Amino acid sequence: MPLSVCRLCLQAFACFQRCGCGASHIGAYIWNLPDAGSRISLLSSAEPMSSRKIIHIDMDAFYASVELREQPHLKGRPVVVAWEGARSVICAASYEARQFGLHSAMSVATAKRLCPQAVYVPPHFDLYRQVSAQIHAVFRRYTDLIEPLSLDEAYLDVTRNFKNIPYASEVAKEIRAAIFAETGLTASAGIAPNKFLAKIASDWRKPNGQFVLPPHKVMAFLETLPLGKIPGVGKVTLKKMQSLGMRTAGDLRRFERGELLNHFGRYGYRLYDLVRGTDERPVKAERERLQISTEITLPEDLPLEQAAGHLPHLAEDLWRQITRKNVEAQSVTLKLKTYDFRIITRTLTYSSVLPDCAALLQAAQMLMARVPPQTEDAFRLIGIGVGHLVPKNQQQDLWA
């Protein structure tokens, strides 16, 4: 009987059937092999270049680590990166600060109660961008398939890399060593067959480590994976999963696609694939942007009012980008992502350019007021962007 090979568990199964592991795709056909053993041997000999090799690089406490590099006398102390103000929220916390329960998106008022001895430093986003550019220069020595997620993390597809290194683990090791040598900062890495698994893996050996998740170990790894480790599963979703008796990805895998759709809406479709280790999303190379934007993924789902606490520092960060690029903007967009991955956007367009950062912040706050408060909604991402860009001092009204 002609056989196929499952790309996830490497088991043999009849062509035009699905593998018993539950994978949602059919692997490469290998015809007329006498038994599964010889087929698996053939597949193994084709490694390490027979499947995608994705690396997720995540800098360790990036903003705080940059500040500690610039102010080495603070090393060993709990350091918090945040603006002044009673309603300010934490941008980043050093590992020493995290031992007291401090984390990004926490209010400064709460942080001061938990750790009165913490040292607070204001963020320096221009410096963070400079360091991020150094890190991306390291990435480009190995691949041009780089998908930035933020200043401090990115996906890399190194299946075919410029140095022809066959093992993604070696690529990750070299990249991490180069980053440390050139910036003095440490990075963690996850290596896996797809983006979903690589992101989970990068958190497994933090800080300053890497974790490899090869295809044949995916199903066993997911069987005991706590649901809270799945990107996108926040407190609200996790609570609902637990009420259904789910504790691990393995538990979730025992539910049919339709059941997950009923319980979690559209996100249920994605969950069905994720807990089977399936994520076909490609690594999207960076493209020239038609607008300028900044956003933050919150470490925990927040209600609308708390998410709005990030607007002042997002506006300051965005205004620095506008100034540096020597452009002016006539539209402002607010972006919110809910716990179940629904995207909410609101846009304001003006007849003239935004004069300053205060006007940008005011526009963002006006847009936030247009979002109807839903008590069941919690938000995992907030961002603002500007469009209708014109070169600074250009004497042309696009809306005349």
Annotated active-site positions, please?
Answer: 153
Q: How far is CA 121 from CA 71, 116, 124, 176, 297, in A?
A: 10, 14, 9, 26, 21
Nearest by Cα to 317 from 347, 349, 360: 360
Partners of residue 337 on adjacent β-strands = 343, 381
Helix (H) or strand (E) holding 223: helix 218-223
Residue 115, CB-side half-sphere exposure with 13 Å CA sphere: 23
| Contact yes or no for 347/367 (Cβ under 8 A) | yes
Decide if 111 contacts 78 (C-beta within 8 A): no
Annotated binding site for Mg(2+): which residue ranges?
Answer: 58, 152
Q: Whole-angstrom Cα distance, residue 134 to residue 125?
A: 14
Strand order in the sheet with 119-121: 90-93, 79-82, 119-121
Beta bridge partners of 13: 4
The helix (run of H) or strand (run of E) holding residue 187 is: strand 187-192
